[in-house]
Chain A
Amino acid sequence: MSSLSSGRGPDAPHPPSDQEGRYVSLLTQVMSQPLDRDYQVVAQRRARGAAGSVVEGASIPADDEVKQRSLSITTIAALAVFGVMVGVSALQTERDAPVVRAERSELIEQIRERQSAFAALQGDLNDLTDDVTELQAEVAGDVQGLGTVTRRLDDLGVAAGTVSAVGPGITITVDDAAPASPGSGGVILASDLRLLVNGLWEAGAEAIAIDGHRLTSLTAIRFAGEAITVDYRSLTTPYVVTVIGDVDTLAARFNETDAGQAWIALEVNFGIGFAVTSSDELEVPGDPQERLRHARPREAE
């Protein structure tokens, strides 16, 4: 290489300049001088040497020939090296190819797998969405059913007396006769009160409370010593009976019943107080249900 570098000398100017020393662009230089200038330089020098050798004698061409042959071996060696490189490179590419192909097919397989997984998940999602819609419809139905049940429970509760009730009705205030009044029977008995309540039920009462004690099917009206007890609680006169029902007909229908007739007789004969007032908005409390319950609905089998 050193001999070549020195051989370049003045007749081989360095790129990027053309023969006249003008600047040329790198790409132009690459395109216009693809061949190593060394070939030309060496050829020129050899031409000069050959011209000199003609004058000197025949020994130099023979020497040149020996050199040519010895270098020919290196050329062939270089070409052989090149061949080995090409072969190895091709082999390597060939050897890598299955790996690359395997990787590629594995990637494709992975993509397919993920795609099918995605499709499966999408299907699941659709199913679940359908389920949700179904359940929502069901819940909506249940809510409607619950509303019905709740309303029915309220109705039943009012009828059974377990819940407090409001509505139009009448208030009946009954009181013992004044002490000065004639006769000894001017005291309201428990049976009188029972008669009154039964008459009111007969007249169409929907909810009844005596002095704030709601009457249910289990409420007892009894005597305990001197006092009347309702639901086992002693009451004092006057007794206020709150009745919810039809304001227009309740009092009139009560008067038509046997109980109503009896109470008219009590009022007339013994001076027992009996006053009826009607109002649009009355309230009766619910029964506190302090009893233990043993009975329960028989379940359908």
Chain B
Amino acid sequence: MIAVVGLVLGIVAGLLLQPSVPATLQPYLPIAVVAALDAVFGGLRAYFDGIFDDKVFVVSFVSNVFIAAVIVYLGDQLGVGGQLSTGVIVVLGIRIFSNVAAIRRHLFHA
């Protein structure tokens, strides 16, 4: 519950404060959001599995965001940024779908 409050607080803060993102980082924000989404759903599933761990969650969150951004940055430097973004999103998307399926099984027992 308190986690949801934190999430909502963050969204509201982001919308209200409108922190300016440096122009160089702007292309990596969407992919970072997708990576963070993967970490969040992973944590949620772990919570339902009863094996949630704060440290693992925070580390996976930070490393996910960082690695996704770095991969896309590398791809941009190599001229395959678009393709690498697609690859990252496909892998993360599969993971998100699988985790959400597990969460659904926990919630609805179906």
Q: Which listed segment binds B: A38-46, A136-144, A231-239, A249-257? A: A38-46
A contact patch SS: helix
Q: Are B14 and A83 in contact (CB under 8 A)?
A: yes
Q: How far apart are the CA atoms of A39 and B41 in the complex, in Å?
A: 13
Q: How far is the CB of B36 from chain A (nearest CB, A)?
A: 5
A78 close to chain B: CB less than 8 A: yes
A224 close to chain B: CB less than 8 A: no
A82 close to chain B: CB less than 8 A: yes
Q: How far apart are the CA atoms of A34 and B12 in the complex, in Å?
A: 30
Q: How far apart are the CA atoms of A83 and B7 in the complex, in Å?
A: 5
Q: Are B15 and A30 in contact (CB under 8 A)?
A: no
Q: How far apart are the CA atoms of A75 and B7 in the complex, in Å?
A: 10
Q: How far apart are the CA atoms of A108 and B7 in the complex, in Å?
A: 41
Which one of B14, B30, B37, B45 has the highest number of Cβ atoms from chain A below 10 Å of its Cβ? B14
Q: Are B56 and A87 in contact (CB under 8 A)?
A: no
A92 contacts which chain B residues (CB < 8 A)? 21, 26, 29
Known contacts A35-B102, A39-B46, A79-B3, A87 near B13 by CB under 8 Å: yes
B58 close to chain A: CB less than 8 A: yes
Q: How far apart are the CA atoms of A77 and B33 in the complex, in Å?
A: 15
Q: Which of the four size classes fits the interface of chain B? A: 35 or more
- Chain B positions 11-69 with a Cβ under 8 Å from a chain A Cβ: 11-15, 18-19, 21, 26, 29-30, 32-33, 36-37, 39-40, 42-43, 45-46, 49-63, 65
Q: Are B14 and A87 in contact (CB under 8 A)?
A: yes
Q: Are B6 and A83 in contact (CB under 8 A)?
A: yes
Q: Are A78 and B19 in contact (CB under 8 A)?
A: no
Q: Indicate which residue in B15, B30, B99 contacts A87 across the interface (CB closer than 8 Å).
A: B15
A4 contacts which chain B residues (CB < 8 A)? 55-56, 59
Known contacts A79-B6, A81-B10, A36 near B42 by CB under 8 Å: yes
Q: Are A78 and B57 in contact (CB under 8 A)?
A: yes
A42 contacts which chain B residues (CB < 8 A)? 51, 53, 55-56
Q: How far is the CB of B46 from chain A (nearest CB, A)?
A: 4
Q: Are A83 and B11 in contact (CB under 8 A)?
A: yes
Q: How far apart are the CA atoms of A34 and B42 in the complex, in Å?
A: 8
A53 close to chain B: CB less than 8 A: no
The 3 residue pairs across chains A and B that have the minimum distance between CB atoms = A83-B10, A87-B14, A71-B54
Report B's interface with A, CB cutoff 8 A.
2-3, 5-15, 18-19, 21, 26, 29-30, 32-33, 36-37, 39-40, 42-43, 45-46, 49-63, 65, 91, 94-99, 102
Report A's interface with B, CB cutoff 8 A.
1, 4, 27, 30-31, 34-36, 38-40, 42-43, 46, 68, 71-72, 74-93
